[in-house]
Structure formats: C-alpha cells, structure tokens
Amino acid sequence: MSLLRLAGRPMLASMFVAGGLQSLRRPEDVAPVAEPIVRPVADRVPVLPDRTEQLVRLNGAVHVVGGVMLGLGRCPRLAAVALAATLVPTTLAAHRYWDAKDPSDRAQQRIHFLKNLSMMGGLLIAADDTGSAPSLLWRGRHAAQDLRHDAHLVQRSVRAAARPAVRAGGIRARLCV
C-alpha cells in the first residue's frame, strides 16, 4: 500500500467517524435540521424507520462503520461508496445555503456545502481506487481473452494432428480394398 493511501484514507475517514459518533450520541441535535429531507425519503422507502432521530442514528452508524472501514483499509471501496451515498442527504439537510437569509450564514453554509462536495469527490476517487490491483472487470476481460487464445491454440493443434491421421486413414482404406 502506498504512503498516500496509508495516510489519506484515515484523514478522509476522520470527519465521518467524528460526525457519526456525534449523531449516534445526540440525534436530537441534528433531527430538526434533518426533518425536511428525512420525511420525503422515509415516506418513499418503507424499510426505513419512521422517526427522524432513528434515521439520524442510522446515518451516524453508517458514517462510523464506513469511516472506520475506510480508515483501516478494510473494504475501502465499499466503505467509500456507502459514505458517499449517505453524504448526499446529510449535505442537503444540513447545508441548505440557498435557503439562508443572513448573508454571513449563507456564506458559512455555502462553505460547508462545498466542503461536503469536496469530500464526496475524495470518496468517489477512493471508491475507484483499486490499490494497484486490477479490478474484477479487468480480470474478467483478460480471463475471457486468455480462454479465447487457448481455445484457438487447441483448435490449431487438433487440426495439425488430424491431418496426418486423415492421410494415414486414406492410405489404409486404399490398401484394404
């Protein structure tokens, strides 16, 4: 593993672990801000809990688990995708700068919105990072290419071995008649 991955993943994960722990411990602090986003989502997805505090805790748990996994390098691509998916509603709920009336509050929320957008970019890069190992798609394509090549070699070998046998069979047929 490169030094950049070794240092970069925990640095990226730290914000999620800290924020997730806060959401797990005190969901009532975040619930009023999350309510405008949580209601429409909870109404459309029946498997999600009905109470906003429960969804805030669930989101916090995903942030903690995903952050720890990303930071430790355990299933980092999956962890990055999970964190990116949960970052969208978090950002839309907490940093609605377009709704802020006060110019200083608007500027502050815009900064947080762009910070989350930057973190989303980092997570998408982490989700695409194979750690210098070929992806499953690449491995599958090359395995299929190798199989086609091997099949072609077998076909050529069978044809090359069959020619003398055909000739010998033709000569034997002439002699036996």
**pLDDT tens-digit series, residues 23-35:** 999 999 988 888 8
pLDDT score for 48: 84
Question: How many residues would you count in the chain?
Answer: 177
Confidence band of 81 (pLDDT split at 50, 70, 90): very high
Confirm if 12 and 126 have CB atoms less than 8 A apart: yes
Q: How many folded domains does the chain comprise?
A: 2
- Rounded to an integer, what distance in angstroms lies between the CA atom of residue 27 and that of residue 130? 35
- Picking from 128, 144, 165, the residue at the C-terminal end of a domain is 128
121 and 44 in a single domain? The answer is yes
Contact 26, 156 (CB under 8 A): no
Q: Are residues 41 and 123 in the same domain?
A: yes
Domain that residue 54 falls in: 3-128
Give CA–CA dist 144/136, Å, rounded: 12
| Average pLDDT score over residue span 100-129 | 92
Mean per-residue pLDDT for 99-108?
90
Same domain, 62 and 80: yes
Please state whether the predicted TM-score (pTM) of the whole model is above 0.85. no
